[in-house]
Amino acid sequence: MKKIRLAAAALAVGLTMLAPAVADATPMPLTFGIYPGGYAGGGSTTGKPDNPAEIRKALAQLQSGHTPFLLRDYLGCDSAFPDDEMQYLAPGRRLDVVLGYSGQSMPEWQTCVERTVQRYGPIADTISVTLEQNAVPQPNGDTALVQGVIAGKKAAGRDGFDRLQIGFDEVAYARPFTQFWQHLAQLGGAEFSRSVGFVGVDLYPDSGLPGVPPVPDLAGFVRQTLHTVRTQEMPIAGLGRDVPIRVSENGWATHTAQRTPADQARALTTEILAVNQDRAADNVASYELFALRDDVTGSPSSFDNFGIMTDDYTPKPMYWLYQGLISGLSRS
């Protein structure tokens, strides 16, 4: 463990010397964050419950005084917000809220979006409406995405939340989802383009998820994917370089003997450095890791083993490396 801590410290010092791929202007450092839970859709339904005291301790160590720091929070319209992450807010921490769509009528959905803006606007940097609609489409979900972004933008302006960005997430690959983006542009037009505050990218190359093939060059895949989003997808909907990309999820599962915690550390470090290298070229504003802990360590399901800690909050190597990356790249 001591060696891992020393490696993280050395990494933090060395990372301050890294420059982005394109130095057309000095870019802002990445804002970092994490999903502080363990559950991932598709995994076990009987995972260990969260331990708030352990979560607070782990977040404090990861953040190490660096601000801002994002906490990803998944919500739905058909609940009373039972599992939100407001309890983990502390100085410098802000929420990245994801509001899932589950088939409401458009008036009901728009009302839900407006109420979410009212509730979370003072403590959130971002609200993402729907989730991964391009990869896991919900009926009428494209319309919900467009109308949710527009309604959220109007509500944020009306309520005076000038800092709050309204956007959406997609699972992104090195190839463009052209038809998906064309449909959004057709549905939303200029009003949608004016309302989008960010595009969230969920990155899971070689992650261990079912159907996801190995990726020999993780760094190249990450940079190509971000560039594809910027140059081949966002222009379809009239989104320019002023609209930032946010890496909203990035994870790597350790659910087999061939996918070890050491392998996770190598893979995720490679991907994070690639995101940082691309931040100027493609205006990438933030990076969030999925997830803080495993839901069920040792489960054969990849969904249960995305954590950088085990389900009893024992750190894996990536936990200490992420602390070092945050420390180093937050200053670069």
Cβ atoms 27, 329 nearer than 8 A: no
Q: Could you tell me the residue range of the domain that residue 256 belongs to?
A: 2-329
Token pair listed for 131:
């989730």
- What confidence tier does 27 reach under pLDDT thresholds 50, 70, 90? confident
Q: Residue 1 pLDDT more than 80?
A: no
What is residue 7's predicted lDDT score, i.e. its pLDDT? Answer: 46
Burial of 256-295, coded b for 16+ CB within 10 Å and e otherwise, reads: eeebebebbbbbbbbbbbbbbbbbbbbbbbbbbbbbbbbb
Examine the pLDDT at 4 and tell me if it is beyond 70: no
Phi–psi pair at 99, nearest 5 degrees: -110, 110
How far is residue 237's CA from residue 251's CA, in Å, rounded to a whole number?
Answer: 28
Residue 17, Cβ density class (10 Å: 0-12 exposed, 13-18 middle, ≥19 buried): exposed
**pLDDT tens figures, 239-296:** 999 999 999 999 999 999 999 999 999 999 999 999 999 999 999 999 999 999 999 9
pLDDT in tens, 163-198: 999 999 999 999 999 999 999 999 999 999 999 999
Pairing of strands 198-203, 284-289: unpaired
pLDDT of residue 26: 78
Cα separations (Å) of 329 from 70, 161, 229?
15, 28, 23
pLDDT at 13 over 70: no
Here the tokens at position 288 are: 């969030």
Is residue 17 predicted with pLDDT exceeding 50?
A: no
Q: Which of 87, 152, 147 is nearest to 123 (CA)?
A: 87
Q: What is the CATH number of the domain that holds 127?
A: 3.20.20.80
Tell me how far the alpha carbon of residue 104 is from its chain's centroid.
25
Q: What is the pLDDT of residues 82-114, one digit of tens each?
A: 567 999 999 999 999 999 999 999 999 999 999
Q: How many domains does the chain have?
A: 1
